[in-house]
Amino acid sequence: MDDSNYRIGIDVGGTFTDIVAVSDKGTVIFSKAPSTPADPSIGVMDAIARLSQELRTESAVLLSKTERIVHGTTVATNALLERKGAKTGLLTTIGHRDVLEMREGLKDDRYNMRLAAPETLVPRYLRLGVKERIRPDGSIHVPLDNDSLDAAIEKLKEADVTSIAVCYLHAYKESKHEKETRARIESKLPGVSVSLSSEVFPEIKEYERVSTTVVNAYVRPVVEKYLRKLGDRLRETGYKGPVLIILSHGGVAPIDEAVRLAAGTVLSGPAGGVAGSRYGSSLIGAENLVPFDMGGTSTDISMIVNGEPALSSTRGIAGQRVALQSLDIVSIASGGGSIARVDNGGILRVGPESAGAVPGPACYGKGGVEVAVTDASVVLGFLDPNNFLGGRESLDKEAAEVAVDKLASKLSVSRAEAAEGVHRVINTQMAEGIRLVSVRRGVDPRKFALLSFGGAAGIHITEIARQLEVRRVVVPRTAAVLSAWGMLATDLRYEVSRTHIGDAGSLEASSVRQIFHEMEQEGRVRLAAAFDGEISIKSSADMRYGEQIYEIDVSLDGVNFDSKDLMKEISNRFHARHNELFTYSLPDQEAVLVNGRLAVIGELPRLPDEPQKTSGTTVGQSKQRHIYLSGWQDVLVFDLESLSPGATVSGPAIIESATTTIVLRKGDEAVITSNLWLDISVER
């Protein structure tokens, strides 16, 4: 190991924990270790140990030379999906305990009369009303009744709740009652976690505020336990720098902030992939990308338009609404571990069930007996059983064949045809996922390039592109760990919002100016606790026409807040944005400002440029492999690390590295870029 200092990115997935180290000289080293769902911190420390071995040193030495660790976690996501969060109670204004269950009167399938209502995170007997009332203007109509509050707290104490959400009516305008409630809970129930809606999501719309606060309360103890344990283990092993957690909006925050706003970590892992895609788009000069992240249990799809990802406040997960700003990512239950089966009608289905990390696909040799997509890849010859994870582990080809044979017998086809069928189904599902993401935004995917990453994506991506009639696919050298790498290319980010409803034409510019000033001051104070470098500000507003019920996000970057025509300028921004999204605007109608938003961003040092390989066109053929592509054939196999910039590889062929495999089909042509990325032209 040389005398370099490092930054480390860690992404805990459902099957593998990915780790990347970038030295101050720009060198990138990465590795993987199996995830440990029972305690993810064990998998993190295993990944650090493996990375240390790659650098020929020990974990303590590596961590002592590490300046910053950025971490993406699925702990909150898994707690929601598996219903393994804290036992949570809800205190709300009397008469409003059922808002969480009534939702907005909407359901996923509105014409299905038999569709069961989604299960709430807090059962009704733990949702308790408290006598108090705040008016919409923030004035107190009914003071907080301590006897009513004490009775509710006593019931939650008897139920042994470990976390409490407090969400009073109009608390976004006045938080006095919520803060008094927290003080009383802390005095009577020491050690119980408390989440206030006025701190988690201080915005209008009652259901969104209640749901987001409840999600925060539900996952917060689990997130805090994990992050504190991880921080302790890192310090015990010699790490002295900050641990930053990537949040759903794509920025990073210290552990304390991630614990406070635990609901903001529900898309933590996928956010790293989008951050890496945004950074990668600048490296390859492609501003319009569809990031495609295929992992072991799911595939995450998003969009980069004009170099920037989209944000959304309408995201949900596991049937729960989380209205915090987050990257607009769609996850589908298709991954390398997705299980194939034949239904009662004799139709081949793949997913949504996954083999996960334990027992995993049959080829992992850990007791799995059902066919996973990875088993099909082994049977088809796409994966080298002796070169799994760079040779650290091997795959059990015989176990994969036995599992696929059982599937083939149910379908009355050959082993290879059954495996190919699994691939066709999963490829079609993922292509449809991309169509869903792009077309619903009015975007033609054929005008975009696919950015392929995740351990399993390279095997499938050119066939998916062909189905979509997409002509260009880009595969980074760090494809298998792009989410972990991308986390190192983002900044500290604190989001602040305020509800301030009114027609833009009648609102006082001074009051709007004051709102944004207060938000900036709050964000700067939060940021100052962990950062003293360069700061930038991004501002926006949620706006709509008077008769509409949904707002759109309008960027206010560049607006002169000191201008006497401030409200006119904001209105013009809204009309232009509405026209951009929906091809029409109504300038004669008044624009309504609903929420002001502001992001205070601490700009972290950029990633150094990676050392470039010597230019040339040498193609280092290493071996041949017998694979099945609509029939058995022998194809050339190339080692990615041995290829030189400018080299061209034509399909059918396989390009592989220690952590990923890319399959080129007939007519595909891959050009090796200067930083060993693959720029693939896909034959239509």
pLDDT in tens, 122-156: 999 999 999 999 999 899 999 999 999 999 999 99
* 113 part of a folded domain: yes
pLDDT at 617: 47
Domain range spanning residue 633?
A: 621-681
Give the contacts of 606 (CB within 8 A, at least 6 positions apart): 489
Question: What letter does residue 95 receive in the DSSP assignment?
Answer: T
Q: Among 444, 462, 490, give the residue marking a domain's end.
A: 490
Length of the chain measured in residues: 684
Q: Among 475, 490, 505, give the residue marking a domain's end.
A: 490
* 608 part of a folded domain: no
Residue 607, phi-psi category: left (phi > 0), alpha (psi -120 to 50), beta (remainder): beta
- 111 and 182 housed in the same domain: yes
Strand, helix or coil for residue 110: coil
**Burial level of 367, CB count in 10 A (0-12/13-18/19+)?**
exposed
CATH number of the domain that 19 lies in?
A: 3.30.420.190
Dist. CA 598–CA 575, nearest whole Å: 20
Question: What letter does residue 346 receive in the DSSP assignment?
Answer: S
Beta bridge partners of 539: 598
pLDDT at 443: 80
CB 627 within 8 A of CB 633: yes
- 560 and 652 housed in the same domain: no
pLDDT at 636: 92
Q: Among 490, 510, 532, give the residue marking a domain's end.
A: 490
Residue type present at position 611: P
Terminus-to-terminus CA distance in the chain, angstroms? 46
- 369 and 433 housed in the same domain: yes
pLDDT at 170: 94
Measured from the Cβ of residue 238, the count of other Cβ atoms closer than 10 Å reads 15
CB 543 within 8 A of CB 524: no
- 123 and 158 housed in the same domain: yes
* 17 part of a folded domain: yes
Q: How many domains does the chain have?
A: 4
**Burial level of 102, CB count in 10 A (0-12/13-18/19+)?**
exposed
- 465 and 377 housed in the same domain: yes
Closest C-alpha to 651, from 407, 461, 422, 495: 461
**Burial level of 5, CB count in 10 A (0-12/13-18/19+)?**
middle
- 474 and 513 housed in the same domain: no
For residue 128, which phi and psi values (nearest 5 degrees)?
Answer: -120, 140
- 30 and 8 housed in the same domain: yes
Question: What letter does residue 120 receive in the DSSP assignment?
Answer: P
Dist. CA 83–CA 78, nearest whole Å: 8
pLDDT at 619: 59
Structure tokens at 556: 């206010």
Question: What letter does residue 250 receive in the DSSP assignment?
Answer: S
Give the contacts of 528 (CB within 8 A, at least 6 positions apart): none
Dist. CA 250–CA 155, nearest whole Å: 39
* 664 part of a folded domain: yes
Residue type present at position 49: A
- 645 and 552 housed in the same domain: no
HEC letters along 443-496: CCHHHCEEEEECCCHHHHHHHHHHHHCCCEEEECCCHHHHHHHHHCCCCEEEEE
Dist. CA 70–CA 254, nearest whole Å: 9
CA-to-CA separations, 394 to 179, 363, 376, 383, 386, in angstroms, rounded: 56, 9, 16, 10, 5
- 441 and 590 housed in the same domain: no
- Cα 352 versus chain centre, distance: 18
CB 339 within 8 A of CB 353: yes
Q: What share of the chain is helix, strand, coil (3-state, %, to 5)?
A: 35, 25, 40
Dist. CA 97–CA 581, nearest whole Å: 37
Question: What letter does residue 411 receive in the DSSP assignment?
Answer: H
- Sequence-separated contacts (24+) of 647-656 with Cβ below 8 Å: 647/616, 647/617, 647/618, 647/619, 647/671, 647/672, 648/617, 648/619, 648/672, 649/619, 651/462, 652/627, 654/382, 654/625, 654/627, 655/458, 656/384, 656/387
* 640 part of a folded domain: yes
* 231 part of a folded domain: no
Q: E strands within 490-582?
A: 492-503, 535-545, 552-555
Alpha helices in 159-307 (DSSP H): 176-188, 197-200, 206-236, 255-260, 268-284
* 261 part of a folded domain: no
Dist. CA 519–CA 532, nearest whole Å: 18
Dist. CA 22–CA 43, nearest whole Å: 20
- 60 and 88 housed in the same domain: no
pLDDT tens-digit map of 574-621: 999 999 888 899 999 989 999 999 999 998 888 777 666 665 445 555
- 434 and 474 housed in the same domain: yes
Strand, helix or coil for residue 30: strand
Strand, helix or coil for residue 203: coil
pTM of the model: 0.84
Q: Which residues of 17-26 are buried (b: 16+ CB within 10 A; e: fewer)?
A: bbbbbbbeee
Closest C-alpha to 266, from 293, 252, 251, 246: 246
* 214 part of a folded domain: yes
Dist. CA 576–CA 417, nearest whole Å: 53
- 329 and 420 housed in the same domain: yes
Dist. CA 301–CA 430, nearest whole Å: 9
CB 28 within 8 A of CB 20: yes
CA-to-CA separations, 76 to 16, 217, 318, 354, 503, in angstroms, rounded: 17, 11, 11, 19, 38
- Sequence-separated contacts (24+) of 140-144 with Cβ below 8 Å: 140/174, 140/176, 140/177, 144/176, 144/177, 144/180, 144/181
Residue type present at position 268: S
Collect the ranges in the chain with pLDDT lower than 70. Answer: 1-2, 313, 357, 389-392, 610-622
Question: What letter does residue 590 receive in the DSSP assignment?
Answer: P
CATH number of the domain that 588 lies in?
A: 3.30.1490
